[in-house]
Amino acid sequence: MCGFVGIWHASPDRPVERGLLKAMTDTIIHRGPDDEGFFVDRNLGLGFRRLSIIDLSAAGHQPMCNEDGSVWIVFNGEYYGFQHVQQTLRARGHQFKSRTDTETILHLYEEEGIEGLAKIDGMFAFALWDGRKRELYLVRDRLGIKPLFYYTDGNRVVFGSEMKAILRDPSVPREIDNEALSHYLSFMTIPAPFTAYRNMYKLRPGHYLKITADGIADVCYWDLPSTVNEEASEESLAASLDELLGEAVRSQLVSDVPLGAFLSGGVDSSIVVAKMADGMREPVRSFSIAFPGMGDDDETPFARQVSTLLKTDHREFAVTPHLIEILPKLVWHFDEPFAVSSAFATYFLARMARENVTVALTGDGGDEVFAGYPFRYSQDARFQRIAWIPQPFRRLLFGAVEQMPVAGPAAMKEFLQWAKKGAGFFTHDADYAFFRTLSFFTETHKRLLVSDKDRFAQCRPSFDILDEHYRRRAGQDPVSRRLYADIKTTLADEMLTKVDRMTMASSLEARVPLLDHRVVEFAARVPARYKLHGREGKLVLKRSAAGYLPSEILHRRKHGFNVPLDKWLRDELFPFMTDLLSEETLKRRGIFDARSVGRLIADHREHRANNVGQLYILMNFELWQRQFLDAPAAGGTA
């Protein structure tokens, strides 16, 4: 697990400055505190920061080259099971100087070209330079577990593992991308390929860029299978899945440094820890965390139960964070507005775990792959009850409910909030309802929120981000279609972004065995009826684990990995929020209407509405502006 940067100029006569590469890598030292390295070949330069995990010797130094120095690579991530491929390459005459997965990719490229990507099993982002052909490849793993960003102005490409490294180049402009802002207001994250900055992009999962003097080609090299195995029984699918999960976890236990696991006591992390316990000689080191005030959302009793069952070396952390101090640090690590409140918990859990281990396996990805959010994926049954109502009348009827004020006794307020939320689902269709479960500001609300009503006039509606993926799976059942869209958007842009940045903030490598591409491909072929039934999701996953995990763990009520932010914004964080979103600040920025924001704050404070998502979105946006647009330092300030 590491970080890298690079610069490529279209003109072969324009050299890369080594000093700039050094400045860029310095901004991501947290991703690789153990070593640094550089390589310059006229118009191409690479920089690297290393977190030593496999082969801790100097032989693992990067940038790394092949035998004759014609091909160079900087690699972030893990190539699981690379030893088998390495043996094959040795038999074909390739010479290795290290025990690293990175060097295996170099020789695999020599043997098979970029098509050798199909053999890389793992999480990765890398830049590979073929000096003979003068070709640069930027590659990101299938699911988007590891990040890769790039800026281009047509004459050069500046790239790196984090955006702050790219911003270290003083010639890279910092202009807000309006379409990215619009999507951020909907999703609380910015979906790929957008970033908050104009002309800077996220390389999409399962894609690579081929960069030559002729231009940039964006190539999709992997996608989920679109066919479903309708013939197999649920029992046989569960048995096959159990075997696959065991293989995935075992392949990710390879490490030359201490290794552990995040354990919440939920289905996903419990399965991962159980498989780890089967594959390790010593007890698994497991970690969990809780915040005061979580109440029924405190999962530590369940984590304790699983720990006792699996005999792990378990440690719990109860954290009372100083959020006013911590939130700016989180914003600095995300590089752009990112309003997922569970990042707090992940940050503290990673920080505590890093005191004991360097690598941690997590259960992330299970919900998006196996339908862990029943409410989100099964909207169609509700629509069948109202399908006879023409859409214009539906919009009129339910639109009126959406506009109802929330007032009266507490029970009435709770009912009206539920009715308003439900009404929004029925104004369009089932696919749009899925979008509404993911979004915070509607297109109408966004237009009311901004001071300049034309700011988003040229932007696509945010629903189009999901609809693009729906259309690719038009022939599939609704649940499979929405899972596909979720994997392509929420998983990469929210969940995996959160895990990568918050673990790397503490120089901790996080591995996600439920997102082994073989597991994900297998799950895509499982019929929807074996994933979701009524209000229960992850059916086949739970059945696969029924032999070693108790029913009270497999079938308990789902919890999110969250913090009580709605309460904090009404109490201890209220002064901090109102300072960030003051009328003076909003007018000076000239982006959001101060009266509209004031109403959101007042309604939340007086319990007329729960606007925690909307307010946290706006708070993060203001903090991001202060650190990355106002700050004099090129990479932002923590």
Q: What is the mean pLDDT of residues 181-203?
A: 97
Q: What is the mean pLDDT of residues 261-270?
A: 96
> Cis omega (within 30 of 0) on the bond before 225?
no
The pLDDT of residue 386? 54
Residues 595, 577: Cα–Cα separation, whole Å: 15
Which pLDDT band holds residue 444 (cuts at 50, 70, 90)? confident
Give the H or E element holding residue 260: strand 259-262
Q: CB 483: neighbour CB atoms within 10 A?
A: 29
The pLDDT of residue 299? 82
Asked if residue 636 has pLDDT above 70, the reply is no
Q: CB 323: neighbour CB atoms within 10 A?
A: 16
Greater confidence, 384 or 599? 599
The pLDDT of residue 200? 98
The answer to whether 544 and 241 are in contact (CB under 8 A) is yes
* pLDDT 10s digits, 287-313: 998 877 666 667 888 999 999 999 999
Q: What is the mean pLDDT of residues 268-275?
A: 98
- Alpha helix positions (H), 113-261: 163-167, 178-187, 234-251
**Cβ-proximal residues to 237 (8 Å cutoff; 6+ apart), any chain:** 229, 526, 530, 540
Structure letter (DSSP) for residue 196: S
The pLDDT of residue 394? 55
**Cβ-proximal residues to 512 (8 Å cutoff; 6+ apart), any chain:** 123, 145, 361, 362, 363, 364, 365, 496, 499
> Cis omega (within 30 of 0) on the bond before 193?
yes
C-alpha dihedral over 629, 494, 76, 201, to 10 degrees?
A: -50
> Cis omega (within 30 of 0) on the bond before 63?
yes
Which pLDDT band holds residue 325 (cuts at 50, 70, 90)? confident
Least confident of 126-140, 147-161, 358-372, 433-447: 433-447
The answer to whether 461 and 603 are in contact (CB under 8 A) is no
Percent of the chain at pLDDT above 90? Answer: 72
Its CATH class, for the domain covering 234-372+498-554, is alpha beta
End-to-end CA distance of the chain: 22
Greater confidence, 430 or 209? 209
Tokens of 123: 């999480």
Least confident of 82-96, 153-167, 495-509: 82-96
Greater confidence, 19 or 429? 19
Residues 462, 456: Cα–Cα separation, whole Å: 11
Q: What is the mean pLDDT of residues 253-279?
A: 95
The pLDDT of residue 131? 96
Which pLDDT band holds residue 412 (cuts at 50, 70, 90)? low
Asked if residue 248 has pLDDT above 60, the reply is yes
Q: CB 527: neighbour CB atoms within 10 A?
A: 17
- For 80-125, what is the HEC assignment? CCHHHHHHHHHHCCCCCCCCCHHHHHHHHHHHHHHHHHHHCCEEEE
Which pLDDT band holds residue 395 (cuts at 50, 70, 90)? low
Greater confidence, 394 or 257? 257
Give the H or E element holding residue 479: helix 478-486
Greater confidence, 294 or 537? 537
The answer to whether 108 and 124 are in contact (CB under 8 A) is no
Partners of 509 in beta bridges:
359
The answer to whether 540 and 237 are in contact (CB under 8 A) is yes
Most confident range (mean pLDDT) of 20-24, 429-433, 554-558, 629-633 is: 20-24
Q: What is the mean pLDDT of residues 204-219?
A: 97
The pLDDT of residue 283? 97
The pLDDT of residue 393? 58
Asked if residue 211 has pLDDT above 60, the reply is yes
The pLDDT of residue 403? 57
Most confident range (mean pLDDT) of 371-375, 475-479, 524-528, 632-636 is: 524-528
Which pLDDT band holds residue 484 (cuts at 50, 70, 90)? very high
Partners of 46 in beta bridges:
6, 39
Residues 589, 492: Cα–Cα separation, whole Å: 30
Q: What is the mean pLDDT of residues 61-86?
A: 94
The pLDDT of residue 438? 78
The pLDDT of residue 589? 96
Which pLDDT band holds residue 433 (cuts at 50, 70, 90)? confident
Tokens of 421: 């939320």
What mean pLDDT value characterizes the chain?
Answer: 89
Q: Do the domains 2-220 and 234-372+498-554 sit in the same CATH topology, yes or no?
A: no
The pLDDT of residue 609? 87
Asked if residue 404 has pLDDT above 90, the reply is no
The pLDDT of residue 535? 83
Which pLDDT band holds residue 286 (cuts at 50, 70, 90)? very high
Residues 84, 91: Cα–Cα separation, whole Å: 11
Asked if residue 554 has pLDDT above 60, the reply is yes
Least confident of 54-58, 377-381, 615-619: 377-381
Asked if residue 396 has pLDDT above 70, the reply is no
Which pLDDT band holds residue 631 (cuts at 50, 70, 90)? confident
Greater confidence, 55 or 346? 346
Q: What is the mean pLDDT of residues 113-129?
A: 95
Which pLDDT band holds residue 172 (cuts at 50, 70, 90)? very high
What are the φ/ψ torsions at residue 17 (nearest 5 degrees)?
-85, 120
Asked if residue 414 has pLDDT above 60, the reply is no
The pLDDT of residue 156? 96
Which pLDDT band holds residue 593 (cuts at 50, 70, 90)? very high
Annotated domain spans of the chain: 2-220, 234-372+498-554, 564-638
Asked if residue 454 has pLDDT above 80, the reply is yes
Q: What is the mean pLDDT of residues 71-91?
A: 94
The pLDDT of residue 276? 97
Q: Counting beta carbons within 10 angstroms of the beta carbon of residue 536, is it exposed (0 to 12), middle (13 to 18) or buried (19 or more)?
A: middle
Looking at residue 418, its amino acid is W
Q: What is the mean pLDDT of residues 49-76?
A: 88
Active site residues: 2
The pLDDT of residue 321? 67
Q: What is the mean pLDDT of residues 117-121?
A: 91
Token look-up 């696991």 returns 261
The pLDDT of residue 632? 59
**Cβ-proximal residues to 186 (8 Å cutoff; 6+ apart), any chain:** 438, 439, 440, 441, 442, 446, 462
Q: CB 549: neighbour CB atoms within 10 A?
A: 19
Its CATH class, for the domain covering 2-220, is alpha beta
C-alpha neighbours within 13 Å on the C-beta side of residue 415 = 6
∠504-165-155 over CA atoms, to 5°? 140
Structure letter (DSSP) for residue 368: H
